[in-house]
Structures are given as C-alpha cells and as structure tokens.
Amino acid sequence: MQPILGSRLAGASLMACLLTSLFLAGCAGPRPSPLPTPAEQPASAPDLGEAPDATGQAEVDAALRWAATQPLPPTIQRSRAQWKPAPWTDLPGLQADWITTDWHGAWDAWIRSCSRTNGPSAALWAEVCRQVRPLSLASPASQLAWMVRHLQPYRVATADGTVPPGLLTGYYEPELSASRVRTLRHTTPLYAPPAGLNSRQPWFSRQDIDSRSDVQAQLAGRELVWLDNPIDALIVQIQGSARVRVTESDGSEKVVRLGFAGHNGHTYRSVGRWLLDRKAITDASWAAIKVWAAQNPDQVSAMLWSNPRTVFFKEEALSAQDAQAGPRGAQGVPLTPQRSVAVDPEAVPYGTPLWLHSPGPVRQVQRVVLAQDTGAAITGPARADYFAGWGDSALAIAQGLRQPLNMWVLWPR
C-alpha cells in the first residue's frame, strides 16, 4: 500500500505519507520538531503504567531487572542506518502497550512475518520464530517478559550515527464501489498491467494513457473496474490497493481486492503540491481537492496529469478470512491494522519488530509494530508509514498523521 504522499513500490504498498500532507512529499516545508533523545529524557521516562495484576507485573519487572544487568552489545552498521544499542527502559510507554491496547495484534503480525523469514538474517530469526508461535497462547505479560529476555533494542540512527528527527505518516486501504463495465457514470478505469511493462524502463505517462488512442489500444481489455470519480482512482493508485464492491454486467455484486501489480516507471508528483503552488487550495486534503475539482472541472485533467505516475493492479478474491486483514505488503504477508508499518528496507529488514514512539500532535503512538511493507516516499532510517486499516475509520487515522518519530529495532540477542 502506498503512503498517501507517494506511490508505493511493492506489495500493498507501495509508498508514502498521510492524506493531509501526503501531497507534500518531496517538497520543501517545515519538518517535525525533533524529539528528545533518550539521554535528554528524564530518568523516569519509561511509562510503566498500571498492571492488570501483580503476577503479570512481577514477571515483566523481573525480566527488566535481568536485562538491566546485561552488557550492551556493539553498534550494528547497515547501508542506510546505524543501530545503537539501548536499554529496554529507554522505550517510552513500553508497558502501556501490553496493558492497555490490543497487544495480541502485534503477536499475530509477528507470526505472519515469521512465515516469510528469509535473507541474511533468516538463521538468526529461526530460533526466535520457533518460540514466537507457541507463545501466542501466553499472557501479554509473559510475552513481553520473553521479548525483554530474547531481544535487544537498538535506536535507529543515520549511517554516520546521528539520531535524526524521524517522521511517522499513515496509509490505509480505501473502500469503494465500481462497475465492471463502463457506464455513463463510471468512466474512469483501473487497469491490469499492459503487456511488456518493464519496471526498469518508463512506460507511457498518465497524460499519454488518458489522451492517446494508440496507448489506450494497448490497454484495451485490461480494464479491471470503472470508477465514477477520477480522484478516487488517484487515491487508490497512491494507496496501492483497495476493497471494491463491483457491480457485474448482470447486475450482481461482489467485493474484491485490487492489489498493486506495477507502475509505469515515472516519478510520483503530488497533485496537492501542484494545487498549493498555484494557490488554488490552502488545505491539501482529499476533501479539499475534490471540492476544487467539482468547482473547476475544466482543470481536473491538468491537475491529474501533473502526476505522470500510473499504478496498475491485479484483482484478488476477498474471502471472509481475507477481509479480516489488510493487503499483502512488500514482505508478502497480509498487513495488520495499526501493527504493520512500511519502512526503508535498506535501513530495517522486513519482518523486524520495532518500537515506535510518536507523541503527537495528531495521535500518540507508543507500540510494537512489524516492518512488513515499503513505499516510494519511505526512505531513510527513522521513517515509518503506519498502516491504519481500511475504510473511513482508517482514513480518519491516516489522513492527519505526520509527526515526529523515535524508532527502535528489536533484534535477537
């Protein structure tokens, strides 16, 4: 799925910020104020919260005391990041997550990642994953205590060791209605990939696709569904997937998922930024853009063509079980609402559990998540795109999320 600010490169993903500011990706503008580093935080920074029972708290406290006696390991260097070892007590709000939230959602997401563990660190994770599965039946306190004893936190920094002002954005899976055939109302298609599409060589631009008959001939018969609003089509392309209620040619209906299947190789450009630069709008939200489009129908094509990138899709059946999770991310596993994030895989490998700390202003995020996706605008070490879920409730979370971030990798000891 893509972040709202840029198209996603793979999986659901593929790629880049929240609805209100996603349009600003890659543009100059104020950055979130950096958060205090752990050294600047008061010694009491960890929020131990209220334990649901003394037994659970005692188990967690014992694990934290044990971890405090262990020497910190060396720094880990990656191509785009440096991981600095840190004590568990540096993680703000740690115990509030297992006490007050759907902690088991994180465990379910972790089990999914364990099913696709590969790459250079596969052997390192094999024993950890062997224990993660049976622990799904344990209490949240026992699960956290196990994590403290088996995983080491590392603060994510730049490759030269600087702790950057991180950025947290959000993305989601839209829910829309569509027609299987073109109608007077449904005139905007979403396509399957054309023959010969090569990700290493740009194909035709969005303007070419919309205006050239020879290009349209190459896409004839590849229309998956037809939408009644071209801006909704753009939203789906930016997010990278959608749940679509399709009216078939015989009048019957079914719900399917459209998943990312490739793009035309052009650089993503923000239509929100295009409008802001022309002082056509002052609020770069989808709602504001739709209002502007309704008032300026003769300029809608120019706005859309300012973004030359077009995304292609594949249709997937959406069973009752599939509907309980999000689309598949770049790791190849279904995304878990508010427990899956998109990252830069050069900084953080897929399948890695992370601790996110983002105190607002829109939403306080202090929780364990899994790195399971990526996106075109998700680059750099302390960068995460938060999968909010699907539909309007997820949109409400994703659209305002652009705020400072501290991030820790949780890596096997």
Q: What is the pLDDT of residues 86-127, one digit of tens each?
A: 999 999 999 889 887 789 899 999 999 998 877 677 888 988
Give me the mean pLDDT over the 62-89 stretch: 96
- What's the pLDDT at 147? 97
User: pLDDT tens-digit profile of 263-292?
Assistant: 999 999 999 999 999 999 998 888 899 999
Give the residue extent of every domain in the chain: 44-170+336-412, 172-271+290-324
User: Average model confidence (pLDDT) for the chain?
Assistant: 87
pLDDT greater than 50 at residue 3: no
44-170+336-412 against 172-271+290-324: fold identical: no
Q: Mean pLDDT, to the nearest integer, of 34-59? A: 51
Structure tokens at 35: 């958060």
pLDDT tens track for 162-218 = 998 899 999 999 999 999 999 999 999 999 999 988 767 899 999 999 999 999 999
User: What average pLDDT does range 132-148 have in this prediction?
Assistant: 94
**Alpha-carbon gap, residue 31 to 29, rounded angstroms:** 6
> Sorting pLDDT into bands at 50, 70 and 90, what band is 40?
very low
Beta bridge partners of 366: 357
Cα separation of 152 and 113, whole Å? Answer: 18
Q: Domain 172-271+290-324 falls in which CATH fold?
A: Ribosomal Protein L25; Chain P (2.40.240)
Q: Would you call the peptide bond into 202 cis, given omega within 30 degrees of 0 as the criterion?
A: no
Residues in contact with 295: Cβ distance below 8 Å, sequence separation at least 6, in sequence order: none
Beta strands (DSSP E) in 70-131 are 76-77, 82-85
pLDDT at 35 over 90: no
Looking at domain 44-170+336-412, its CATH class is mainly beta
φ, ψ (nearest 5 deg) of residue 20: -80, -35
In this predicted structure, the answer to whether residue 4 has a pLDDT above a threshold of 50 is no
Q: What is the mean pLDDT of residues 329-358?
A: 96
User: Residues 6 or more apart from 188 whose CB is under 8 A from it?
Assistant: 226, 227, 228, 229, 230, 232, 233
CB 73 within 8 A of CB 86: no
Q: How far apart are CA 204 and CA 219, in angstroms?
A: 11
